Amino acid sequence: MKDKYINLFTDFGFKKVFGEEASKVHLISFLNTLLPEKHQIHELQFNQNENQGASLLDRKAIFDLSCVSDSGEYFIVELQKAKQNFCKDRSVFYATFPIQQQAERGDWNFKLAAVYTIGILDFVFDEDESQPEVVHQVQLKNQRNQVFYDKLTFIYLTLPNFHKTLDELETQQDKWFYLFRHLHTLDDIPPRLREKVFLSLFEKAQIARFEPQERVAYESSLKYYRDLKNVIDTARDEGWEEGREEGREEGQYEKSLEIARNLLHMGDAMTDVQIAQATGLSEAEIATLRAASA
């Protein structure tokens, strides 16, 4: 491989840098750039959650974290490397688990700890394409735009909107966003990133240091990420998501079939519903293609 460092948008790279016990220093540093002052993380632990991730791929890219603030307050952070298909649905779905798991047996007053769901996106929502913001914070509000419930917060990072150069990096948050976008393109550690937490990250992210099985796993993860992103991005760019009938009228139906077959060949990474969403084909057509390729 030509790259010296891993791509943080891959499931393997994301877990390598943030999902191991030895990676907690990276995780705390990154999350504290996003959380409010009252919930700056002092300690955290990974929760073993059997519900976490309906698929093996999701389990590699979603971390359920129990956190304690400097003041001793307990709260939960769910960190997701968000996938483009049904992103908002996934975020809401997985946010329900750390809420439900706070239930106590017996006489319980239903008091809940705060939950933050943080989604890292390598794409921009259609409705936000004209918006330049990188950080989007979402809470449940009433008809007067007042926060109805402040213990559930969704934070989405649309990283394609981050355009700062190395010389323009000012805050710790800037530096983390830059690494997400550019780590895999770097050959050396930039002077502006020669801090203890980042030096540790660069060491952990160096592909040449991987064991053979780790290298194979990373290459597989990178191929999956590139293939899936290219297929979905192409479908969106060409307008295939607008529906099968429009695709037929524009002579794109055969191309939609080709994309569906490519996704099916990737194994069980996507369901029939997700492939239908990405291509504009019906679920029945996807089921027929799946049966034909079996």
Q: Which residues contact 43 (CB under 8 A, 6 or more apart)?
A: 67, 68
Q: Do residues 294 and 265 touch, judged by C-beta distance below 8 A? A: no
Q: Do residues 119 and 125 touch, judged by C-beta distance below 8 A? A: no
pLDDT at 1 over 70: no
Q: Which residues contact 138 (CB under 8 A, 6 or more apart)?
A: 153, 154, 155, 156
pTM over the 0.75 mark: yes
CB atoms within 10 A of CB 5: 22
pLDDT of residue 59: 54
What is the percent of the chain where pLDDT is above 70?
86
φ/ψ of 126, rounded to 5, equals: -55, -45
* pLDDT tens track for 29-42: 999 999 999 999 99
Domain spans in the chain, listed from the N-terminal domain onward:
11-205, 212-293
Nearest to 52 by CA among 82, 112, 96: 96
Range in 1-5, 14-18, 114-118, 202-206 the model is least confident about: 1-5
Mean pLDDT across the chain = 85
Where residue 203 falls among pLDDT bands split at 50, 70, 90?
Answer: very high
Which uninterrupted H or E stretch holds 79? strand 74-81
pLDDT of residue 248: 46
pLDDT of residue 247: 42
pLDDT of residue 263: 82
pLDDT at 250 over 60: no
Sheet holding 135-141, edge to edge: 41-46, 62-69, 74-81, 115-121, 147-158, 135-141
Q: Do residues 153 and 116 touch, judged by C-beta distance below 8 A? A: yes
